[in-house]
Amino acid sequence: MRKVAVIGVGCAKYGARNDVTVSEIAFEAFKPAVEDAGISPKDIEFVAVGSAGAGAWYEENLPAVVIAEYCGLTGAGLARCEAACATGSAAFAMAYWAVASGQVDVAVALGVEKMRQVDTPTMVEFIGRSGYYLWEFHNFGLTFPGYYAIHATAHMAKYGTTEEDLALVAVKNHKYASMNPVAHLRSRITVEEALRSPVIAWPLKLYDCCPISDGAAAAILASEEKVKELKIETPVWVAGLGYSSGTANLSKRKDYVGLESTVRAAQQAYKMAGVTPNQIELALVHDCFTIAEIMAYEDLGFCQKGEGAKLVREGQTEIGGKIPVNIDGGLKAKGHPIGATGVGMIYELVKQLRGEAKEPSRQVPFKNYIALAHNVGGTGHYCYVTILRR
Amino acid sequence: MRKVAVIGVGCAKYGARNDVTVSEIAFEAFKPAVEDAGISPKDIEFVAVGSAGAGAWYEENLPAVVIAEYCGLTGAGLARCEAACATGSAAFAMAYWAVASGQVDVAVALGVEKMRQVDTPTMVEFIGRSGYYLWEFHNFGLTFPGYYAIHATAHMAKYGTTEEDLALVAVKNHKYASMNPVAHLRSRITVEEALRSPVIAWPLKLYDCCPISDGAAAAILASEEKVKELKIETPVWVAGLGYSSGTANLSKRKDYVGLESTVRAAQQAYKMAGVTPNQIELALVHDCFTIAEIMAYEDLGFCQKGEGAKLVREGQTEIGGKIPVNIDGGLKAKGHPIGATGVGMIYELVKQLRGEAKEPSRQVPFKNYIALAHNVGGTGHYCYVTILRR
């Protein structure tokens, strides 16, 4: 397998971005990425666009071609990838394999989503359909806060996780988002504010839920040969990639205290990278709801099953703790523009591994320079885990 | 680059398939493909689903996970790919690169579309949006017959191509579809019938247009090592893959007598395969409208620019001619279930290269066993060219 590095990254400001079209927000991520890599758009041979809501959430049915043209990429190969909320990671995987296979030397994963052009109830329905439509949504009316509330109540019942523990995740992630210029929700909150916020689907309250965000992120990948040719100073290598899927029919799940697809994807990624969970020095995990972050600690092997809440109580997932998690604000507060999210994680990992998360400082200290991104689609319907190494 | 072979193919009956859900029609393609390969679904490590209309044309927003589960593929990595009408080829490319990179040994490209659940005007609008929405569709109201009519009038004006030439393409493709059990339109037509059919967008008439079809097709890809391990008797190797894109803004095109993205994608595929156009012994080309087949002859290098009509007049694109084209009926008469189309081409090429297109005989004679699939998205917004070799 050819070695592949991320050589350039960019991230648009996440948030309510009614000021830009989908092409414009994509360009906000793409332009700094090509500048970062020191290349021109013409050097890019394949473009994998990650976007889930094309033609439904925003007007362009075929965002790949329209965005590519806006970014000066016409002529390159194009595809759009979708894997529910792991859409950005699916695009990253396609771009990675295009380079790793030897087909191309330079590819870009360009994740983008415009989610705020439709009204909120419509968006909640759209996302709610992102399970097994004919069963969960159509017959039972479940939407995503409800799905994750099932996980939260199961975890609370089995392991004694509390509403306060969930609130602690939100407080941590809001704190780091307040220090991240591209984050959507930049206000700090307290445990009391989180607990007092309106109930959405008990035990999940408003502050347990990620916002609906517009956003875009770009990651440029290159072969080892190209890294040398371009004299890239700090390439960040793709060390491991794992992926898996779970049943779309929630009634078939063995339990609701974790996600099997995360466990399998993580094992695959660790094996490929030749590392163990305790070697990971930074993780960005899929915290669409606070309970999802606690389950991810456990499913990714950062602690034993059932001990996730303890990690956050002890502050072990803060910078300086055993394993800093979501120190960019996470989906919870940086935001979750679906197609962008997975690529936005790569953006943050690359910046961190290069030591560039400095203004204001959210820089994680590294010894081995190994970091992980974890991106889930649905409630474990899809999962991608990517390990990067400087 | 690792050698990759197609080791199993399947194709559902294309047509008005109100009798099946999207998962069921996908299974109709998938089941024969795994049986053909002699493997079990559990051997498949990555699933690239090609589908453009998820959640809009049919009810499932996330067809990849729902179809994968129905096919016994839960646990495998999943993504959906979209590249307009080249969606199936984008899924094939992702599955190919997943194997070629060394990441997996066995992957499946599973193309599927259900297009007939929505009413025809809505579908025509959906497809019409598959250009540059804000320009061509929203401002000028163009839909696809109009787009390709621009190409047809340009080609007629510059090269003397006639309405009869267009009709000859339709007659040929209907003839072969009548011999293809999985084709949508299985009736033969005459030149007179084609010319007398209602005008849709002059010079294109009803019989110049492909139908709106439901359908599915599957292609299982495996590494050379796996081909040996499984003792596959007649692996069909992926010899070349090319892809390109063109401007989404038609006013920026240099001319309308061909598709630049086809020319570029073909050159790339020929170079990778180390072959020239005159070595191709069978081609399946993107004949969404009859003029598109004539342009493809030229853009793929089977004749000089402007001489496409001559090829069909002389019968050179029939079986026994210089270069048989669309002897499965093409999009024109086999049908064009968008996500399935590109994978359905691979199905036919593999059957042909193995000498299995025998009942009734549409078998093309081979000397060098080299065949090509050409799949366009939009009007050259996307293009993929795949060359297979036995």
Measured between beta carbons, which residues in chain B are less than 8 angstroms from residue A248?
A: 62, 65-66, 69
Least confident among A72-86, A97-111, A302-316, A350-364: A350-364
* Set of chain B residues whose Cβ sits within 8 Å of the Cβ of A102: 1, 100-101
Note the helical H segments in B38-162: 63-70, 87-100, 120-128, 138-140, 144-159
Check: CB of residue A161 under 8 Å from CB of residue A155: yes
What is the pLDDT at residue B47? 98
CATH number at residue A43: 3.40.47.10
A80 with B81: Cβ contact below 8 A: yes
Q: Is residue B104 a contact partner of residue A242, using CB atoms and an 8 Å limit?
A: no
* Cβ-defined contact of B75 to A103 (cutoff 8 Å): no
Residue A279 lies in a domain: no
Give strand pairing partners of A76: A74
- The pLDDT-based confidence of A141 (bands split at 50, 70, 90) is confident
CB contact at 8 A, B146 and B250: no
ipTM over 0.85: yes
Which positions in chain B touch A73 (Cβ < 8 Å)? Answer: 245
Band (pLDDT 50/70/90 cuts) for residue B158 is very high
Whether residue A139 is predicted with pLDDT greater than 90 in this model: the reply is no
Tokens coding B153: 């009038």
C-beta atoms of A245 and B94 within 8 A: no
The answer to whether the beta carbons of residues B278 and B365 sit under 8 Å apart is no
Let me know if residue A107 belongs to a domain.
yes
The larger pLDDT score, comparing residue B185 to residue A135, is at B185
Q: Exactly one of A155, A174, A286, A336 is catalytic; which is it? A: A336
Domain count, chain B: 1
- What is the rounded CA–CA span in Å between residue A49 and residue A43? 17
Strand, helix or coil for residue A108: strand
A-B contacts (CB, under 8 Å): 202
Catalytic residue at A85? yes
Q: Is the per-residue pLDDT at A124 higher than 90? A: no
| pLDDT higher than threshold 80 for residue A134 | no
In a domain, A47, yes or no: yes
pLDDT in tens, A22-81: 999 999 999 999 999 999 999 999 999 999 999 888 888 889 999 999 999 999 999 999
- CB–CB contact B78 A245 (8 Å): yes
For the segment A341-348, the average pLDDT, to the nearest whole number, is 98
Report DSSP letters for A33-58, one per residue: HHHHHT--GGG--EEEEE-S-BTTTB
Tell me the chain A residues in contact with residue B101 when contact means C-beta distances shorter than 8 Å: 1-2, 96-97, 100-102
Distance from CA of A372 to the nearest CA of B (A): 18
- Among residues B32, B279, B306, the alpha carbon closest in space to that of B160 is found at B306
Q: Report CB contact under 8 Å: A62, B94.
A: no
Residue B50 covered by a domain: yes
Residue A22: inside a domain: yes
Find the CB nearest A244 among B62, B75, B93.
B75
Indicate whether A157 belongs to any domain: no
Q: What is the pTM of this model?
A: 0.97
> Which residue range is the domain that position B88 belongs to?
4-118+212-229
Chain B residues lying within 8 Å of A55, measured CB to CB: 56, 126, 129
Would B180 be classed as within a structural domain? no
CA distance A356 to chain B (A): 31
pLDDT tens profile B174-220: 999 999 999 999 999 999 999 999 999 999 999 999 999 999 999 99
Q: Which tens digits make up the pLDDT trace of B289-327?
A: 999 999 999 999 999 999 999 999 999 999 999 999 999
Of A65, A138, A382, the CB nearest to B78: A382
Cis omega before residue B360 (within 30°)?
yes
Question: Where does the pLDDT of residue A358 fall: very low under 50, low under 70, confident under 90, or very high at 90 and above?
Answer: confident
Averaged pLDDT, B11-22: 97
Catalytic residues of B: 85, 336
Per-residue pLDDT tens digits for B37-70: 999 999 999 999 999 999 888 888 889 999 999 9
Give pLDDT tens digits for A230-287.
999 999 999 999 999 999 888 889 999 999 999 999 999 999 999 999 999 999 999 9
**pLDDT at residue number B126:** 80
A61: in domain:
yes
Distance from CA of A95 to the nearest CA of B (A): 9
